[in-house]
Amino acid sequence: MSLEVRTLEASDYSGWLRATRLGFLRSATVSDEEIELRRPYTDLARAQGAFDDGRCVATFRSMPRDVTVPGGAVLPSSAITQVTVSATHRRRGVASRMMANELAATAERGEPLAILIAAEFPIYGRFGFGAAAGVTEWHVDTARAGLRPPADDEDGRVELVDPADVFKSGPELHERVRLQAPGSINRNDRWWELFTGKVQVPGGDPWKEPIFAFYRDSAGRIDGLAAYTVDDKWRGMYPESPLEVKQLIAATPAAERALWRFLLSIDWVTTVRTGFRAHDDVMPLLLGDRRAARIDNSSDFLWLRFIDVPRALAARTYAAPGAVVLDVVDPYGYAAGRFRVEAAPDGTATAEAAPSVAPDLTLTAADLATLYLGDESAVRLATVGQATESHPGAAARVDALFRTSRKPWAIDGF
């Protein structure tokens, strides 16, 4: 049986969307309204399908997104999504063919990185992706939290606002926040339409209107946004309402603290579930009793693959001045080679191919991806034999440069 893997044409779209649904184990029925709402946001030139006797049995697409890297620069990236292979056609190399096409196209377009959110951990390492920004979810027992008192700079106010306010003012706030959060990407209007319920796509997850709150500083500037839902639950005459944080982003430490303090002290709410936060989110530090914040889940989230290593290494900043040479192994070739990074005292760096210089550390492109945004340490990789030191202390030297004071945080999935 021959399977045709190719870029989509307009007439393929409804069958392709149907295949995506089936690939994610959802019912296959796709309405005209859904097609109309989704189609403008799918760039057919960046979408692939596999066709068996004319029927779409596998899907794959990418979108241009900017990823923030340590130091606040952004790099154009190919954000891969809707990767599915029908259960009837799995493990025949179909996803591998589509990935090979995509990586070649990414290189052709000049995007230095590809990124994705992996449904399952073992899928993408073989394609040179590494887990680059993880997430942790906590649940907080508010009765035990013992919130510490506010600091002097929390002199703004939290106000409850309407979805329309969020649609209007959220994007500007998010732009400020995501540039401070390595691992985060830009959002489009559609993201905000879906978040605020302005557009509801049939066939997607049903939208439940969250409660929205802004934090405004003393001058009235919006520095933070929280969105949350609460289940109105009672045990006898006692309220036991769980609150779920859908979003909490803040451009300043005062806004971040004030919004957590607000969410953790709402009457009737006995449990706060935080949603996906950075591994080193500050929330637990605000509690007098940190054991009140228990981890529900701590895992990989954003995966990253280098296409242009020198460009990526030169885009981020470094924690210390100095030079290291990395020998990068990549069976696909895109990221393979020896690269010298030289960081200046101000943290900026140059990076170039250095094929004839002795390396300090040898590692795969996937493992370098885990170091790139500050999620992993070279010493840990060397300890488990995933990075090879050419001389004692080489991994620690790499860490001295690559270390970041905060962990990366991919605010959004896609």
Residues with a known catalytic role: 124, 414
Residue 304 as a binder of ligand COA (CB under 6 A): the answer is no
Other beta carbons within 10 angstroms of residue 58's beta carbon come to 26
Which range, of 37-45, 84-92, 282-290, 366-374, touches ligand COA by CB under 6 A?
Answer: 84-92
Cβ-based nearer residue to ligand COA, 329 or 357: 329
- Distance (Å, rounded) from C-alpha 409 to C-alpha 68? 10
Integer angstrom CA distances of residue 156 from 110, 148, 149, 153, 169:
44, 17, 15, 8, 17
Helices within 323-413 (DSSP H only)? 365-372, 378-383, 394-402
Cβ-based nearer residue to ligand COA, 53 or 120: 120
Find, among 41, 186, 47, the residue nearest to 105 by Cα: 47
Which range, of 80-88, 139-147, 226-234, 321-329, touches ligand COA by CB under 6 A?
Answer: 80-88
Which range, of 36-44, 114-122, 210-218, 313-321, touches ligand COA by CB under 6 A?
Answer: 114-122
Q: Which of residues 14-33 bind ligand COA (CB under 6 A)?
A: 23-24
Q: What is the DSSP letter of 290?
A: G
Region of 290 (left: φ > 0; alpha: ψ -120 to 50; beta: rest) is: alpha
Residue 123 as a binder of ligand COA (CB under 6 A): the answer is yes
Yes or no: say if 68 and 317 are a contact pair by the CB < 8 Å rule: no
Q: By CB under 6 A, name the one of 29, 31, 88, 96 that touches ligand COA.
A: 96
Tell me how far, at minimum, the Cβ of 114 lies from ligand COA, in Å.
13
Nearby residues of 380 by Cβ (< 8 Å), 6 or more positions away: none
Q: By CB under 6 A, name the one of 52, 92, 167, 180 that touches ligand COA.
A: 92
Residue 118 as a binder of ligand COA (CB under 6 A): the answer is yes
Residue 314 as a binder of ligand COA (CB under 6 A): the answer is no
How many residues at the interface with ligand COA, by CB under 6 A? 18
Yes or no: say if 357 and 387 are a contact pair by the CB < 8 Å rule: no
Residue 104 as a binder of ligand COA (CB under 6 A): the answer is no
Backbone φ, ψ for residue 42 (5° rounding): -115, 115
Q: By CB under 6 A, name the one of 42, 62, 84, 364 that touches ligand COA.
A: 84
Residue 246 as a binder of ligand COA (CB under 6 A): the answer is no
- Distance (Å, rounded) from C-alpha 160 to C-alpha 165? 10
Residue 85 as a binder of ligand COA (CB under 6 A): the answer is yes
Q: By CB under 6 A, name the one of 93, 146, 204, 331 that touches ligand COA.
A: 93
Chain residues in the site for ligand COA (CB under 6 A)? 23-24, 83-85, 90-96, 118-120, 122-123, 126
